[in-house]
Amino acid sequence: MPMDDGFVREISTGLSQRGVRDHNERLLLSLIQRHGGLPASDLSKRAGLSPPTVSSILRRLEGEGLVLKGEPVRGKVGKPSTPMRLAKDGAFSFGLKIGRRSAELVLMDFVGETRDERLFSYNRPLPDDIFSFVQDSITDIRAKLSKDHLRRICGIGVGAAFELWNWPDEAATRRAEFAEWQSVDLRVQLQELTGLPVSLVNDATAACQAEHTFGRGKEFRDYAYFFIGAYIGGGIVLDNTVYEGRQGNAGALGSLRSIGPNGESMQLVEMASIRQLEQRFHEVDLDPRHLWSDPESWTRYSRYVDPWLRQTAQELSKAALSVCSVIDFEAILIDGAFPEPIRHDLVDRVRRYVTTQDTRGLIAPQIEAGSIGRKARAIGAATRPMDIQFML
Would you say residue 158 has pLDDT above 80?
Answer: yes
What pLDDT, on a 0 to 100 scale, did the predictor assign at position 14? 55
Q: CB of 380 within 8 A of CB of 206?
A: yes
pLDDT computed for residue 248 by the predictor: 87
Which stretch of 1-10, 14-23, 41-50, 282-291 has the lowest confidence by average pLDDT?
1-10
Cα four-point dihedral sign 368, 374, 377, 380 = negative
Q: Is residue 96 within 8 Å of 157, Cβ to Cβ?
A: yes
Q: Which CATH superfamily is domain 91-206+378-390 in?
A: ATPase, nucleotide binding domain (3.30.420.40)
Q: Where are the domains of the chain?
A: 7-86, 91-206+378-390, 216-371
209 to each of 84, 112, 234, how far by Cα in Å? 24, 12, 11
pLDDT at 11: 56
- Give residue 1's pLDDT: 30
**CATH code assigned to 216-371:** 3.30.420.40
Whole-prediction pTM: 0.90
The answer to whether residue 297 scores a pLDDT higher than 70 is yes
- Taking only the tens place, the pLDDT of each residue in 324-334 is 999 999 999 99
**DSSP-assigned letters across all residues of 219-236:** G-SSEEEEEESSSEEEEE
Q: pLDDT > 90: what percent of the chain?
A: 80
Nearest to 62 by CA among 41, 86, 80, 46: 86
Output phi, psi for 20, to 5 deg. Answer: -120, 30
252/212 Cα distance (integer angstroms): 17
pLDDT in tens, 66-77: 999 998 887 656
Cα within 13 Å of Cα(327), Cβ side: 14
Dist. CA 65–CA 321, nearest whole Å: 46
Question: Quick one: pLDDT band at residue 161, thresholds 50, 70, 90?
Answer: confident
Q: Which has the minimum average pLDDT: 43-47, 121-125, 236-240?
A: 121-125
Average pLDDT of every residue of the chain? 90
Which three-class secondary structure state does DSSP give residue 179? helix
Determine the pLDDT at residue 141: 98
Domains 91-206+378-390 and 216-371 share a fold: yes
Grouping H, G, I as helix, E, B as strand and the rest as coil, residue 155 is: strand
Percentage of the chain modeled with pLDDT above 70: 90
CATH architecture of 7-86: Orthogonal Bundle (1.10)
pLDDT in tens, 75-101: 656 677 899 999 999 999 999 999 888
Buried b (16+ CB within 10 A) or exposed e, 84-118: bbbbebbbbbbbbbbbbbbbbbbbbbbbbeeebbb
How confident is the model at residue 13, as a pLDDT? 59
Q: What is the mean pLDDT of residues 114-123?
A: 94
pLDDT of residue 8: 34
